[in-house]
Amino acid sequence: AQSVTQLGSHVSVSEGALVLLRCNYSSSVPPYLFWYVQYPNQGLQLLLKYTSAATLVKGINGFEAEFKKSETSFHLTKPSAHMSDAAEYFCAVSGGSGTASKLTFGTGTRLQVTL
């Protein structure tokens, strides 16, 4: 079984500051890991994914995440926050091929960006 834990349900940063959203995973098989973003009253949008290729994954809108097997982590970062980054972010894990569409999501982290 797979699971993810997102540390911090709310994160507040100033515009231009570093964004760090934490995610730790648990998986009995090599995991596929994802970060999705949800803006108010919208569905989810894929930011980036890790599928056992490069451990540093670059996504859209300047976000990136690093897969660290030793720490079972997949934290999301962005060097400089923009007001438009305010949204809810979800980390997700799947069991890989065959069940890759059966995502297990974390509880989400709401990112607030202040002036």
Contact positions toward another protein, by CB under 8 A?
32, 34, 36, 41-46, 49, 51, 90, 92, 94, 96-108
CB of 5 to another protein, least distance (A): 12
CB of 1 to another protein, least distance (A): 11
Beta strand 10-14 with 3-7 is unpaired
Length of the chain: 115
**Which CB, 76 or 81, lies closer to another protein?**
76
Three-class SS of residue 67? strand
DSSP, res 52: S
CB of 22 to another protein, least distance (A): 16
Distances (CA, A) of 77 to 1, 85, 111: 26, 12, 12
CB of 44 to another protein, least distance (A): 4
Six-digit token string for 48: 């980036």
Residue found under tokens 């108010």: 40
Distance CA 69, CA 62 (A): 23
**Which CB, 50 or 85, lies closer to another protein?**
50
**Which CB, 48 or 113, lies closer to another protein?**
48
**Which CB, 37 or 81, lies closer to another protein?**
37
